Amino acid sequence: MTQFDEQLTQELFEKNLITENQFQEVKEYRNLNIFSLNVELKLLLSLAVLMFTTGIGILIYDNIDSIGHIALLAILFIVTCGCFYYCFKNSKGFQKNETTSESPFLEYVVLTANVLTCIFIGYLQFKYEAFGTHYGLATLVPTIVSFGCAYYFDNKSVLTIAVTGLAAYVGLSVTPQDIFNDNNNFYANQSLSYSAVFLSVLLVLWTTYSYKINLKTHFALVYLTFALHIISVACISNMVGDELTWLFFTLILAGSSVYFYKASYQQKSISLYVFMIIYAFIGLNILLFRIFDHIDLDDFWELLILILPIYAIGSIVMFIRLIKKFNKEISK
């Protein structure tokens, strides 16, 4: 048992939250040095799903001329139906609260079925234009299916696909290239920035409503994580834009930072807290550069050169202290 675990157990005992007998049992159990392979097994299962669906894509690509489109679609449809049959047969059905399945493979079969559905619909649209020229439907339909599967089977991985599909339907593409490229989507197309803000607000409102009706409240972290990244990237991209919009998006970023600061404590999520700090720090530095851009710094360059290392070190120290403070407060 590590020193940190011993200290926590001792604190629980001193606060009379556990009895002496329970304290001894905890110590004896931890001294057995038993460790779990749950994370490793889940990782291997996720890789298996990824490799299987990738293999399906390679099979389609390599044999598209020899097998034929109809045959490939039929194979995809049969495999997808087989996966959904297993899922419906072994699931407990829809429940408003968080559910756990007796089958350890159900979560990954649901994920496989959902990915294959996306491949099937995408292939159908690409080859036969099943939705005509309404290409957005080829994204919207798998997104709706993904949301349905996520809520029916209580699957966060599928929910991630669903929210990603919803963002794609709106027209958002958030990648490192999009952020740092001079011609990124948000900067080149202003309407996408407003769409990103609207989508983030929508995700936050849906999270709030879900808490009111007690509907899959454990999905909140997924929605809030997407909302944080989308709105922050959109705001930061536009803070380097023209004079008419940068201040507006600066205010939005400030407001979102305050909200996600509170949300990170409510969710007790270190990831939400860390990314909120990073985005707020980037936004603050952009704001400072915009302010300095309007100030004559010819007489202050030497002072700035001295201050910058102190500022960088101070920022790192402050970041570490904030993380420690957060971990201490949520562990109470």
Largest Cα span, the chain? 75
Half-sphere exposure of 246 (CA within 13 A, CB side): 14
281 to 148, 250, 319: CA distances (angstroms): 37, 12, 10
- Is the CA virtual torsion 121, 124, 125, 127 positive or negative? positive
Query: pLDDT 10s per residue in the chain (332 long)?
Result: 455 556 677 777 777 767 777 777 777 777 766 656 666 666 777 777 778 777 777 776 676 666 677 777 888 889 899 999 999 998 888 888 888 877 778 888 898 899 889 888 887 887 777 777 777 788 889 999 999 999 999 999 899 999 999 988 887 654 444 444 544 555 556 778 888 899 999 999 999 999 999 999 999 999 999 999 999 998 998 887 666 788 889 999 999 999 999 999 999 999 999 999 999 999 999 988 888 777 766 666 667 777 888 888 999 999 999 999 998 888 76
User: Hey, what are 242's tokens?
Assistant: 């023209």
The letter for the amino acid at 41 is: L
Cα–Cα distance measured from residue 194 to residue 174, given in angstroms and rounded to the nearest whole number? 14
User: Comparing C-alpha atoms, which of 112, 240, 226 is closest to residue 172?
Assistant: 226
Would you state the pLDDT for residue 76? 84
Listed in sequence order, the residues at least 6 apart from 272 whose beta carbon sits closer than 8 Å to its beta carbon are 221, 224, 225, 228, 260, 263, 264
User: Comparing C-alpha atoms, which of 226, 171, 189 is closest to residue 204?
Assistant: 226
Q: Residue 204 in contact with residue 227, Cβ under 8 Å?
A: yes
Would you state the pLDDT for residue 296? 65
Q: Residue 117 in contact with residue 125, Cβ under 8 Å?
A: no
Cα–Cα distance measured from residue 268 to residue 284, given in angstroms and rounded to the nearest whole number? 24
Q: What angle do CA 191, 196, 200 make, to 5 degrees?
A: 150
Would you state the pLDDT for residue 103? 74
Cα–Cα distance measured from residue 183 to residue 231, given in angstroms and rounded to the nearest whole number? 18
DSSP for 127-150, please give it: HH-TTTT-HHHHHHHHHHHHHHHH
CA gyration radius, the chain: 25
